C-alpha cells in the first residue's frame, strides 16, 4: 500500500489525507479513461481495485487515529490493518 511514509514512524493525519487525495485523483483519472480504446484499460481495472483497497485502509487508519484522539489517547497507537481485515467490514 502507498500509505506509509519514508520513516518507520506512524504517518500523521495530514500525511494520510494527502495519500487519500492522491489516490482519489488517480482513481478519477483512470475513470476518465474508461470508454476509450486505450490498450492499458485492463491494467486500469486492476489498479482501480488496488486503489479502492488502499483507500479503505487509509480511511480506516484515519478513523482509528481520530477515535483515539477523541478518547484522549495517543493517535499513534492506531495500527494499519490488513486488506483482508478492512474488506470484512463490508461483509
Core vs surface per residue 30-55: b (16+ CB within 10 A) or e: beeeeeeeeeeeeebeeeeeebebbb
Q: What is the pLDDT of residues 1-10, one digit of tens each?
A: 545 444 468 8
> How many angstroms separate the CA atoms of 86 and 67, rounded?
17
pTM above 0.75, yes or no: yes
Q: What is the pLDDT of residues 45-72, one digit of tens each?
A: 889 999 999 999 999 999 999 999 999 9
| C-alpha separations of 74 from 3, 10, 11, 67, 79 in Å | 19, 11, 13, 10, 12
Amino acid at each position: 500500500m502507498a500509505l506509509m511514509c519514508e520513516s518507520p514512524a506512524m504517518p500523521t493525519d495530514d500525511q494520510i489525507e494527502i495519500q487519500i487525495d492522491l489516490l482519489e485523483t488517480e482513481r478519477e483519472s483512470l475513470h476518465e479513461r474508461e470508454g476509450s480504446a486505450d490498450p492499458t484499460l485492463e491494467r486500469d481495472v486492476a489498479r482501480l481495485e488496488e486503489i479502492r483497497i488502499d483507500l479503505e485502509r487509509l480511511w480506516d487508519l484515519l478513523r482509528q487515529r481520530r477515535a483515539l484522539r477523541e478518547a484522549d489517547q495517543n493517535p499513534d497507537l492506531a495500527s494499519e490493518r490488513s486488506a483482508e481485515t478492512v474488506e470484512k467490514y463490508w461483509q
